[in-house]
Chain A
């Protein structure tokens, strides 16, 4: 069972308390953007076998959205961090790098 620490209330929540929210750090494209960018924003999601950054909501708890860095191949959790950011913070990147040297995810890398 997946257990994530909520960065707001500090609870170690197991997944029945959480709701998965998909890819993290999405850049939104709307009116005025190219068809290509709009299509990619709507339909293409990162689907890596390995390091993944994603959004979660502590739905049966404090109710807040947060981010998690996780490995989809081993279900290992590298860490969680607050939602008010458009990139993974350095300490999370370091934690991933410690376990997965040379990792990349979208435009981010260790």
Chain B
């Protein structure tokens, strides 16, 4: 693999950019791999990457039914933060955030990580108390966050309206080291690095069956033929129930649509990420100048990657009060992704009832920020059978009553 550098850009500039390689190889499936990861989104590719990087396992295939990074990895609002209340969440999201800081150097690929700061607005008395509590919890967990008063919020976000009649801004939880990254580049960077380690990334190859023998996984059936493996990782977000059914077990998740939209590009007006959980809305400005807006999930099961318009309407209506200037913006695009939501709104990184078959799912509405940490923990679990970061996220936690209850702690936007 040719390294990217300022020198390489200059060299290629002199020869009409004719010398660039493909970022990753188009691979045809082999008969057998040590590890097959189903799902070439951020979490799947990160799992493969850390299997290779941390454990030297490189006979790996990443199988994708669509195109690489075309699911939720390419559909989210790219927010990265780790200001969670519960210890296991704070640990894995903070691991992810800290890995994001060095990701571009790790890959030699610019993921455009921008630690511009994230504010979660408190717009009710309950949120004020909740976020103060989270700030204290974060101090104990070693996550740098602070409670800030409305005047400081206004300083950070000049376009905000502090005293709206319905949703006044009473303060906020500020994480200075949070921010955004370019979602596609995260997937592409991982893919390029995996391919460089000799892993096969096989796109447009749908898994149609999971083969097991004596309660142990031995391979998968795909639209490109049968492939054998020693270990299987299912990392397919919204479709995890469908895949787990093929292997003969059920997951405690439901799949629903989550939507986002972007406006026309405008001049820089907001250089932090603002989340307003009371009204299910969050907004940031992309490097192109578009205002990127995320909303709430639909209430019913859905696999169509499009959501209900009235949720967009509710989100925008609330944001117009908090950010009066957005009322004049035209929206350019709107889209949906299918998120897999668990009962406690925390993910599953877990062994399964089928031996050597592992699952990484249930990230619900907040998976992008976790990609490096999730891949790190999943790789450790798959390689060694045990991961301290993943331990609390086992799918047996529901039976044991050990919920990681972020549905109460983090609210909805997550």
> Which A residues are within 8 Å of any B CB, using their own CB?
1-2, 15-16, 19-20, 22, 35, 39-40, 42-45, 47-49, 52, 54, 70, 72-75
Are A52 and B301 in touch, CB under 8 angstroms? yes
Q: Which of A15, A16, A43, A47 counts the most B-chain CB atoms under 10 A from its CB?
A: A47
What's the least CB distance linking A78 to chain B, in Å?
14
Are A54 and B299 in touch, CB under 8 angstroms? no
Are A54 and B310 in touch, CB under 8 angstroms? no
Of chain B, the residue at the smallest CB distance from A14 is B310
Q: Evaluate whether A72 and B301 lie within 8 angstroms (CB atoms) in the complex, with A43-B398, A47-B253 already known.
A: yes
Instruction: Select A45's contact among B254, B299, B309, beta carbons within 8 Å.
Output: B254
B254 proximity list for chain A (CB < 8 A): 22, 45, 47
Q: Evaluate whether A49 and B343 lie within 8 angstroms (CB atoms) in the complex, with A20-B299, A72-B303, A73-B304 already known.
A: no
> Which B residues are within 8 Å of any A CB, using their own CB?
239, 241-242, 250-255, 298-304, 308-310, 343, 398-399
CA distance A104 to B399 in the complex (A): 27
Are A15 and B310 in touch, CB under 8 angstroms? yes
B241 proximity list for chain A (CB < 8 A): 47-49
Q: Evaluate whether A16 and B310 lie within 8 angstroms (CB atoms) in the complex, with A45-B254, A72-B302, A75-B304 already known.
A: yes
Of chain A, the residue at the smallest CB distance from B250 is A44
Are B255 and A47 in touch, CB under 8 angstroms? yes
Selected A-B contacts with CB under 8 Å, 17 pairs? A1-B309, A2-B308, A15-B308, A20-B298, A22-B254, A35-B399, A39-B398, A39-B399, A43-B252, A44-B251, A47-B253, A47-B301, A48-B242, A49-B239, A49-B242, A49-B303, A72-B304
A73 proximity list for chain B (CB < 8 A): 303-304
> What does DSSP make chain B's interface, helix, strand, loop or mixed?
mixed
Instruction: Select B343's contact among A20, A43, A47, beta carbons within 8 Å.
Output: A43
Q: Which are the 4 A-B pairs with shortest beta-carbon distances? A: A20-B299, A47-B241, A20-B300, A43-B252
> What does DSSP make chain A's interface, helix, strand, loop or mixed?
mixed
Instruction: Select A54's contact among B239, B300, B303, beta carbons within 8 Å.
Output: B300
Q: A47-B255, A54-B300 are in contact. List 18 more A-B contacts (CB 8 A).
A: A1-B310, A15-B308, A19-B299, A20-B299, A22-B254, A39-B399, A40-B250, A43-B343, A44-B251, A47-B241, A47-B254, A47-B301, A48-B242, A49-B239, A49-B255, A72-B255, A72-B301, A72-B302
What's the least CB distance linking A63 to chain B, in Å?
17
CA distance A19 to B299 in the complex (A): 8
B301 proximity list for chain A (CB < 8 A): 47-48, 52, 54, 72
Instruction: Select A1's contact among B251, B308, B398, beta carbons within 8 Å.
Output: B308
What's the least CB distance linking A46 to chain B, in Å?
8
A16 proximity list for chain B (CB < 8 A): 310
A15 proximity list for chain B (CB < 8 A): 308, 310
What's the least CB distance linking B258 to chain A, in Å?
15
CA distance A45 to B239 in the complex (A): 14
B250 proximity list for chain A (CB < 8 A): 40, 44
Of chain B, the residue at the smallest CB distance from A56 is B300
What's the least CB distance linking B231 to chain A, in Å?
25
What's the least CB distance linking A51 to chain B, in Å?
11
CA distance A16 to B242 in the complex (A): 29
What's the least CB distance linking A44 to chain B, in Å?
5
A44 proximity list for chain B (CB < 8 A): 250-252
What's the least CB distance linking A79 to chain B, in Å?
16
CA distance A109 to B310 in the complex (A): 34
What's the least CB distance linking A106 to chain B, in Å?
11
B252 proximity list for chain A (CB < 8 A): 43-45
Q: Which of B239, B253, B301, B399 counts the most A-chain CB atoms under 10 A from its CB?
A: B301
Of chain A, the residue at the smallest CB distance from B245 is A48
CA distance A55 to B243 in the complex (A): 25
B309 proximity list for chain A (CB < 8 A): 1
CA distance A40 to B251 in the complex (A): 10
Of chain B, the residue at the smallest CB distance from A42 is B398
A35 proximity list for chain B (CB < 8 A): 399
CA distance A74 to B348 in the complex (A): 27
Of chain B, the residue at the smallest CB distance from A15 is B308
Of chain B, the residue at the smallest CB distance from A35 is B399
CA distance A20 to B299 in the complex (A): 6
A74 proximity list for chain B (CB < 8 A): 304
What's the least CB distance linking A45 to chain B, in Å?
5
A22 proximity list for chain B (CB < 8 A): 254
A47 proximity list for chain B (CB < 8 A): 241, 251, 253-255, 301
What's the least CB distance linking B383 to chain A, in Å?
28
A45 proximity list for chain B (CB < 8 A): 252, 254
CA distance A22 to B241 in the complex (A): 16
